[in-house]
Structure 1
Amino acid sequence: MPSPLTHDDPHALGPYQPIARLGSGGMGTVYLARTAGGRTVALKTMHAGIASDPALRTRFRLETDAARVVGERFGAGVVDADPRAETPWLATEYVLGPPLDDAVELCGPLPEATVRALGAALCGALGQLHASDVVHRDLKPSNILITAYGPKVIDFGIARAAGDEHLTRVGAAVGTPAFMSPEQASGQEHTAAGDVFALAGLLLFAATGRPPFGYGQAADLLYRVQYAEPDLTGVPGALAPLLAQCLDKNPFRRPTTGWLAARLHDGQGDFADHLPDALLADIGRRATEVWQVTPRRLPAPADTPAPAATASPVRWTRRRLLLTGGGVAVGVAAAGTAAALTRSEWAGGQGPHPGPAPSNSQLPRKQLDSLWQIQVTDPKNAFFTEEPLADFPAQLHIVANMVVLMVDDSLTAVLAQNGGIDWKSDEPCNTWQVASDAEHILLTSFVDDNYVGSDDAHASPLALETLDIRTGVARDAFAHFDDLNGLAVDQPLCIANGVAYVVAGHGKYSLSFLAAQSWYVIAVDMKTGRRLWKAPLPSREQGSSDLYFLGATVVGDHLVALQEANDGSVHAVVRDTRTGTVRWDRELDGVDPDRVRHTPVTDARNLYVGAGRLRALRLADGGVAWDSRTARPGRTYGLPTIDNGTVYAVEKGLGLVALDAATGRVRWQEKGGNGTDADLNAAPVVGSGFVYSKRGSRLWAIDLSSHAPAHSYATTGDRFVIHDKANVIIALGGHFLAAFPLR
């Protein structure tokens, strides 16, 4: 779908005015553009950073030539081009139809009649290319657009004349591994026979919904393409022998496009006659929507203020002293208290947006499949690299159109649509945790923030404040309590229905304050600042550094929390939100607290716990609704996710499993055998058509219809969350925050 222009996108190229973005890749950006007379085109440009490279300019020119060779019948007709401009550009007709992968996603595996008509038409396109001694070399589903009049082949970025080795040396594999020919995978010459091999892979994908050699890492796919047999399961019987002949490892045994076309289709009827109704409807929808796109340009990110010529003396607030003095001593000695320091690991954004502070080390941008990425940590900031700090997961808050997280010692709001920095909080926010909902960001603070003494006899009273989500400016405290201490580890648990739930202490402040103080959960009305109730927590043993809560949420009148006990065990504890009374407390045997430091996974009936065996506990009484060790004994599961009555979790050695939330019955499990390396520590996230699961360095999309892997993104992330408003998946980890398209 088209997306808004960025502030630095061109206003015009030749007679064409870009009005929206259609996509962007390593070589350039494709825009939806119009002329003054109203003609709509697809406008492809080169990135400015590579436009000075003569070899890449030559490749762009050859792409233009190849597009002209294939012509309007089989490709996106070339309207205009200027490969010699400062920013080279190519204008083609705007094709009214989805790419093949979107068509299969919409309709599922296509009927045999559709596959045959598609194959015969593509044979015609390739035949025309090959007659001009041009080979495409990157046939894949996203490069085939389906229109009512026939398929069109696009993206000739690595097409070249047969036998030309100047732009791509022999010995280097160039293309898309899942649809390469064996000779291309081994870095050898890719001839017209290689395009025939790729075409057969395309048709197999259209007929089955999967590539001919499955999914996986590039190295695995390259090996399978060269040495494994294609999986023809599900290919219609009469079609399978034709595709098998085209997929022969020996290019000299593959048929020509003319021979194949004659056996695929008799040429009777219009192409549209062979398309499913859903696909025809989608083509019609696209034809209507293109005229509804109006120009929209995102504003430039706010400039980072220039540093003053002379720095003012730093006023060390009591909060900061706790974190850089006594707080460090506690943090080095104990993992729990070290969480107060974890937030200061984060550094600033990278790229066109405000960057890290001058003391931070910029990292090279990762080669990801993301829409945008920014650096959010500085690995060379040695002060905050003590071992205990790594145990605490980074906080990630979805608020309005933003992603809010701790960067340096301030909360930073990143625009989910484009990665721009919207605001940074106006004061240090070195609390161990913040809480948020769609309207508020809650912080613990101090009534007397100027106190800088080391008197262990008291600590400044606790205050609660919020940030303005539009600006990041801290509002005046809405509540303070003289009977509770405002320490750096005071812990906002969650916000729900205008009530803030917070953990706070009372008593003598010292470096062993966890044991020296009494601790409570309090509920505070955020509108009036009135404390609704105060409930005691169990005492901590002397020398203990374990904080109480691993995560909390509110469901109806239940405050659902995962707590860590003195012995290191994890307990599910449910309180009445009206009184703070504990309704039930159940130990979760076999659960490591470091693996469940997240918001509990719940629905209206149950709490769902993984990180070992998978089980559902009734919110009403804590009883076991179901347990995987009964139905699937001996199985190990990762962190669960729930969506629309289905619990999704990774099963060790198998991959993604979907279970009925009410009964625990398995509804389906991942197909294809590619889930053996799925990450048990990254909870799946669920979109409208796919469930996304981390495997190695990629985030894989598992199709909710076919239950098989469909596509993947390269990622450094280890925590993922869906931002519905921006229609993206947000990934955090490996020193980067990134966004991936949600299909």
Structure 2
Amino acid sequence: MEPLGAGDPIRLGPYRILGVLGAGGMGKVYFGRDNTGRTAAVKVLLPELAHDPHLAQRFLREAHTAQAVTSGGVARVLDARIDGDDSRPWIATEFLSGPTLDDAVRAYGPFGADGVRALAASLAATLSDIHAAGLVHRDLKPPNIVLTATGPRVIDFGIARPEHGMTLTTTGQVPVTPGYGAPEQVLGQRVGPAADVFSLGAVLAYAATGRRTFDGTHVAAVQYEVVHGEPRLDDVPAELRHLISPCLAKDPAHRPTPEQIAGAFAPPQGADRIWRTGPLAKDIARRGAEAARQATLVGREPGSGPSRRRLLRASLAAGAVVAAGGGAGAWWLLREEPRTPVESGLASGAKLLPRSTAQSGKAPKPLWGPLPVAAKPVDGLVPAPLSLRDVVVFAAKDGGLAAHFTRDGKEKWRLPDVTPAAGLHPLTEQLFAAAGTSGALRVHDASTAKLQWELPDADVGRFLTMDDENLYAVTRGGQLLAVDLTMQSIRWTKPLPTYAVRGAGPRAAVAGVTLVLFGDDGAVRAFSTIRGLDMWTIEGQGKSGSAIAPAVVKRKDSNGTSYTVFLGGRTLKALKFPGGNEVWKAGPPQNGTDSWGAPLVHGDTVIATNGTTLAAYDLDGRQLPLNGRAARGPLPATPLVRQGEALWAVEADGRGVSAYSTTDGARLWTWSAESRGPWGMSGAGNRVFLVNDGKLTAMPTVG
């Protein structure tokens, strides 16, 4: 969400306008909240177009068209009218909390057969309702399907028309998304409900494979394939292929009806669990909670002052409210010219390996790599790669940063004037912070590398962590730095002891209004996030020359909100904030080693390396059974990575990485690139990305 600018309305009808969700070729979409607390996506025609009576009528016709459909499978129109000082027409719809289908497939991978069946049955029922109202949607596609806790919702009736209406709106314009519009739409012929069935077939093929069934290098090539080519269904599971194929028939008369599709795809009981349980359901719940929180934070009446969290979220493009609303920001964008096909390298989650493979003890083959494209270690350090959107970003062999597609490892872009040694820090699901060669703080779009904004005088030496207001770093001159992300300015700086910032350190985490910093000298220091004031210091928590990343858990109970910070080092320690009081500790480490590793928190479990073993505790300090043994001696204090049902750790001698079962800690396998030295490691999308000895590798993990 972006902040309101000059000319943006403050209120439209009952809705107080809180921010901008996006803009299209004809208008803007705002995030609104009425006096009852109900949120809405409010679409407004651009001022320069509002005076055209034909456009205004067409704009409002979209609302009336959507209101004609009473199905629970579409987004409800809440209100539509001409209002405001400039008499611009606006439409308000319910704010859907959930990702669009294309975002969900990219984030979590293609749906299984049962999930596709559930999706097909639900969408077919919705199409049946749309057609029963005498309408044809005409633009069914993954971005126009929002996955909510109650199932898929079809959105955007911007080009919906009565049955048998012409597709062409102006000479030569075909408002249809390449690869999803039916052949008769592409050719500008009259269309009926069968056109939506063709689109549904293309949508289901995408959900089952993560790829378009019609694709090409440009729009004309895709449209030619739709009209003359055969759909690519080889990757569709065999049990679904014969059901999807009839939907994609060139002749509309040969396509099944939505009712026939719903019957043919009848899913087994519980098949809808894909949006009720698991990672997708958690994503939907998180987005809903964040949307509600944002509405509460920014819903203060004028005079109470703006919420800093609101301003921060607004300043970060593609930030939390857009994420919370899922497709709400996207689908209410007024239509523009059809977009070019999605690049073939876009990410989707890798398939998890079956447990039988893991139990064999043999390391799997990489998904791709090792590729000799990464930088060699500098001063014994390898920056961890960062995966965002469709790419993994890393320190490049020839200097600067490079990004390769997560799907196949092919290069996408390069940024030569960036210093990788400062590390990379994600700001949103799309943006990351990097340091320029002069120390400037730079914020880039991960998918395109486009510079979003820059703070030239930040003098960034190494990024640490962030919270809802600030990004924290250590400057090249040894200062602790807080950058206000709302104002894109330095908020405060604080001198640090030289011995705390040497080497690879420090590491940090935020607990409420406290920044907890683990220095390279082994001391842990606490600072106020508001002004950077010193609060307390724990000397000797770690050994000199080894800063260990803290982990934080936010907890709520009858006494309010508290934070627990977990520290590795000479003991595994839990501190409660506010206050920083010790609540439990375990240690010293076993087997003659002198350091617990960096703790990793997953759900209600804290996991850390303890000598040659993995140890697990619940959040209150009770030890849990987890008895993994390292392959070659003690595991170092390198952060663990969890993907799927495996924990990944770098072996102490630097000769490989091992995967351990999250169930009992048993070592599943050890994989080596036949090299020694430091490793950089991160995980995303059921992949583990490794950088070692100048090579970049993507590994699968186990489910």
Q: TM-score range by the shorter chain?
A: 0.3 to 0.5
Q: Give the TM-score normalised by structure 2.
A: 0.46
Which has the higher relative contact order, 1 or 2, with Cα contacts under 8 A spaced 6 or more apart? 2
TM superposition score normalised by structure 1: 0.43
Larger CA Rg, structure 1 vs 2? 1
